[in-house]
Amino acid sequence: MKGQYVQSKISRKDFLKLTAIGSALALANLPKKAVAAPLQKKKSKYRFCMVIDLRRCVGCHACSMACKVENNVPLNIEQTDRQIFWNKVFFEQQGLYPYVKEKIYNRPCFHCENPPCVKVCPVGATYHDQEKGLVLQRNERCIGCRYCALACPYGVRYFNWAKPNYHNRQDALNPDVETRSKGIIEKCTFCIHRLEKVIEKAEKEGRAIKDEELHYLPACVQTCMSKARHFGDLNDPESTVSKLVRSGRAFRLLEDLGTEPNVYYLKEA
């Protein structure tokens, strides 16, 4: 056969036809699951959820501070408009004097079921954890494009504009939590390092997680002096959070955006 030109039996036109038919068949035979998957809600093993009782919150900022200490969030005192708050307390003034009312909200990450931030990340640095149903962050992968922070309608994502500054309190850092570098995004993890310990322990003992184990798990919940915060697993219908979510007072922020947040609020009245 050396040096001989072999005429292919299939012409170009036929080849194109075959390719078209082939790909059509392949598409038609795609497993139903693959097509339907994005439409169906994936059920994660756990659905960790926080319920915040607005009637009880006094706006003391203790949750924000506890979070900062627990998660090695830099202080960055010198940068006033670039403060990082994994948990933030903010206020809304309503009405005119003398009928004024101040509404207090406090806000961790909402750990949406349909997170807009995860969708847009070009490198998968932020991802939706299938087991715990949490939106988590891979610090070592983030390129710092800040697209996720723009996509998040709740503004829970924070960028490290400068090298994290702990103001000589490095020795007080929490060894369980990785510190972040300059130029990447960080956000609330529902204290994943504490959660993992609980899950591990339960798995070792071969049992399911107890509701009590979760009650005061994240630092913000643990520290709340007015017990305004509750934490638990929504997949367990008997958990405290499930009961609270079923109550008539429960609502979520910007629910019409379809992000399906896992943080519920309880109305003041």
Nearer to another protein, 173 or 254 (CB): 254
Of 144, 166, 215, 243, the one binding another protein by CB under 8 A: 144
Site string for another protein, 78-117 (x = CB under 8 A): -x-xxx------xxx----------x-x-x--------x-
Of 60, 65, 145, 198, the one binding another protein by CB under 8 A: 145
In terms of Cα–Cα distance, which of 40, 5, 7, 47 is closest to 241?
Answer: 47
Does position 142 bind another protein by CB under 8 A? Answer: yes
* SS3 state at 147: helix
Does position 268 bind another protein by CB under 8 A? Answer: no
Closest contact distance (angstroms) between CB of 209 and another protein is: 31
DSSP bridge partners of 107: 88
Residues 183-202 that bind another protein (CB under 8 A): 183-185
Does position 130 bind another protein by CB under 8 A? Answer: no
**190 vs 78, 94, 193, 268, CA distance in Å?**
27, 30, 9, 24
Whether residue 157 contacts residue 258, with contact meaning beta carbons closer than 8 Å, is answered with no
Whether residue 117 contacts residue 188, with contact meaning beta carbons closer than 8 Å, is answered with no
Of 163, 167, 169, 201, the one binding another protein by CB under 8 A: 163
Of 87, 160, 189, 239, the one binding another protein by CB under 8 A: 160
- For residues 194 and 218, give the distance between their C-alpha atoms in angstroms, rounded to a whole number: 7
Q: How many CB atoms lie within 10 A of CB 236?
A: 17
Half-sphere exposure of 2 (CA within 13 A, CB side): 0
User: Which of the ranges 25-33, 64-72, 177-185, 200-208 carries the binding residues for another protein, by CB under 8 A?
Assistant: 177-185
Q: Peptide bond before 175: cis, by omega within 30 degrees of 0?
A: no
Closest contact distance (angstroms) between CB of 128 and another protein is: 12
Closest contact distance (angstroms) between CB of 164 and another protein is: 10
Q: How many residues bind another protein (CB under 8 A)?
A: 45
Q: Give the strands of the sheet with 48-53, arranged side by side.
A: 229-233, 48-53, 263-266, 250-251
Of 154, 190, 231, 265, the one binding another protein by CB under 8 A: 154
Closest contact distance (angstroms) between CB of 198 and another protein is: 30
Closest contact distance (angstroms) between CB of 122 and another protein is: 4
